[in-house]
Structure 1
């Protein structure tokens, strides 16, 4: 063994000097054994500080919040997932049982996005795998309902001109 391997680590030697203790010559010769109380000792492995992001990621994983947070991030960052121009004309309105429902400004946007469904779904699964999105449903604009009152007539009525 070389002198470097036998020597007390510099961090531990500094700690002992600051406490007024000198490392014993015996400590240099004997091999360091893993003590069960080792995690409470300074300058040992596993005692390095962790970043706030790492701590929060571990907390959300342990608490089971990752799917809810991914869903919230998906809605909040919809313009990055779907694209800025598409996001101006659409907005996610619901996510239930694996189906993301997206409201569009016009039926033309809804029809065009149906053709792009696979591309948008792939991007969602790449960015937010824990969100639980399996399919996307695109809806046209909300139109007024003509079905009200006791004398409502079945059929399409004047609604075929909207959208």
Structure 2
């Protein structure tokens, strides 16, 4: 089979693309749009100089989840609850391992942190260190979260037995 000279050759892919580009330019020109030919008419933006991320974090690096959670809590108004949870949840890192080994926080209401010591001696020691403990808490979570401490010793055993009892000194007068 030989091709007759009257049949035009089949268009190639680049010819089809060129024809489509010319048709698009003609349609844009008909709509009043400025159309240029070639790369000279392309609006060039100033080229951003490429800077590489360094060892220090910058705005192009992935952000820490903690920073995202902090900004979310701040935008929703949860900051005070998060700070209160930090005091109770990270007690050992806030006040130190020595104090945390002998005292535990129990409640935090209206800026008053209730702390229970393991002995009366530790309760006395914590009362003497109260300003230092408040300073550590303020440094860890911010000022105003905890305004005062209510330090108590361990619960003493109750000598009160039964529904009916006699008021007075109790069993101390029977030892002896």
Query: What band does the TM-score fall into relative to the shorter chain?
Result: 0.5 to 0.7
Moved more, 142-151 or 55-64: 142-151
Report the secondary structure of 2:105's partner residue: strand
**Are 1:27 and 2:40 matched, yes or no?**
no
Deviation string, structure 1 residues 10-48 (Cα, Å, up to 9, x no partner): xxxxxxxxxxxx8764624x99xxxxxxxxxxxxxxx96
Aligned length: 122
Aligned to 1:151: 164
Does the CA contact (< 8 Å) of 1:67 and 1:130 recur in 2? no
Aligned to 1:77: 90
**Are 1:93 and 2:106 matched, yes or no?**
yes
Q: 1:110 aligns with which of 123, 131, 139?
A: 123
TM-score, reference length from structure 2: 0.58
Distance 2:88 2:158 in 1: 28
Aligned to 1:61: 74
User: Which structure has the larger Rg over C-alpha atoms?
Assistant: 2
Aligned to 1:135: 148
Unaligned runs of 5+ in 2: 1-37, 47-58
Distance 1:76 1:95 in 2: 12
Aligned to 2:49: none
**Larger proportion of helix:** 1
Report the secondary structure of 1:70's partner residue: helix
Query: Residues 90 and 26 (structure 1 numbering): CA distance in 2 closer, same or farther, change over 3 Å?
Result: same
Unaligned runs of 5+ in 1: 1-21, 32-46
